[in-house]
Amino acid sequence: MPVQLGRRRVGGESGADDDSHPMNRHPMRRTACTLAAAAVYCLAGTAAAADADVQFDLAQRYETGRDVPTDLGRAYALYCGLARQGHPKASFRVGWFLWTGLGVRRDPVRGFDWFAAAAQGGEADARRMLKLLPPGKPHPQPACRSEGRHRSVAPVFIPDTARFRELAARGAVADAVRDLAPRFSLDPRLVLAVIAVESNFEASAESPTKARGLMQLMPETARRFDVADPFDPVGNLMGGMKYLRWLLAYFQGDVRLALAAYNAGEGAVERHGGIPPYAETQAYVRRVGMLYPSDRHPFDAAVAEASRLVRTASRE
């Protein structure tokens, strides 16, 4: 029998339907925040505007495009302001932006510093991230300059964008992804983007080639990653995440190559020396990239030996 996905939230993500949510404690402010032009009201002129939870929620909204147009620059600026005040979750997001180059100029050194600051503040995701990265000595007071150093990213409108934003923000699948993804050292946003393009969040989806479930596992992939029932949402998610984690390690954190391999197989990527010249695969990589605009992702080198393609490229 398929496992029922629960409603538990983890990792600091908040649901707009939660009565304890800071936006719901301020109905007028929540209403204002549904409009991009009025969202600034959330940070202006009132004592409640200084509430760190409200500011962190607004930063997440700008990052994910939930209720306001996606604006990674504003998200980063808000995270920076909170990080400088010692907010552990905001410190982790600043580290992620800098490490991956999401919305800012990529700076792995400062990203590492902010991961360390978040871990020192008790952020579990940051501690897991530091275990994956080479050891180093972090700067005790990392810089977080937002002025003139970020780029805003306009929202990308594709047919299922609105549905993606809605389902990625809340719902049983989103809850399960946020619960499971950190266990596989994956950014939940990447996993949600893959699910959106693969199955449009339909746990019962089945393709003509017998790819099944939320992350559209082929029978051989399901067997490879010990998925007994591909229509069991949790089992399917875990199998898909294991494969995605393996691909990221195999291609040394190159998101585009990992996505191409998820669609066409790692062998096809190796044979063609990069993203295969298949229209379906190229469109797939573009569509996921629209929902997850980062080309790099941390990886665990112990999961898989680097691919020949990556090894060859690193020697050139």
Identify the burial level of 171 via C-beta atoms within 10 angstroms of its C-beta, where 0-12 means exposed, 13-18 middle and 19 or more buried: middle
Rounded distance between C-alpha atoms, residue 24 and residue 31, angstroms: 9
List 170's β-bridge partners, or say none: none
Selected catalytic residue, list 198, 266, 305, 316: 198
Return the structure tokens found at 72: 């990674």
The secondary structure of the chain in percent helix, strand, coil, rounded to multiples of 5, reads: 55, 0, 45
Q: State the Cα–Cα distance between residues 283 and 292, nearest whole angstrom.
A: 14
> Has 270 been annotated as catalytic?
no
Q: Which of 264, 280, 267 is nearest to 307 (CA)?
A: 267
Angle between helices 88-100 and 72-84 (to 10 degrees): 130
Answer positive or negative: Cα dihedral of 188, 192, 198, 202: positive
Tokens of 33: 């925040």
Region of residue 51 (phi > 0: left; psi between -120 and 50: alpha; otherwise: beta): beta
For the chain, the distance separating the N- and C-terminal CA atoms, rounded to the nearest angstrom, is: 51
Residues involved in catalysis: 198
